[in-house]
Amino acid sequence: MKSLVNQKRSNFNIKGALQIMSGDSSFVNPSKESLDTLQQKHSQAPSDLMLPPSLSATTPPTYFSQNQIQAVISSFPHGSRAGPKGLRPQHLKDCISISAGDASTSLLTSLTESVNHLTNAHLPTALRPFH
């Protein structure tokens, strides 16, 4: 596996390397034991760590167009793995295809608005602790 990952990295195929590394592993259930294991494997951040400044009112907003969102969704290779809820990229590709008619335009508009909202730190209250 290490040689396959290195081969993907040497070709600047980070997405492919991550897919190989993720393999068939599943998500770990959050627990004290899981947290302890992760803390043992990963060192603490240095006390002098300098993080980039957070977004402020002076930071210009970033907006993506529907064409950009459609291009990103379309860039997933056929057979890409499903996410934790079982949704595969192919599901989204099918839903935004021309054959889906007006529903595809509506979905793409909603996805674009959601991405732009999240990109500009307009997070729902439930997600703010993770920001």
Domain ranges of the chain: 63-131
Task: Say if residue 70's pLDDT is above 90.
Answer: yes
Mean pLDDT for the stretch of residues 103-123: 85
Mean pLDDT for the stretch of residues 86-107: 89
Has this prediction a pTM greater than 0.75?
A: no
pLDDT digits (tens, 9 = 90+) for 19-47: 777 765 556 778 898 888 888 888 787 88
| Three-class DSSP category at 129 | helix
pLDDT digits (tens, 9 = 90+) for 46-67: 888 777 666 565 667 788 999 9
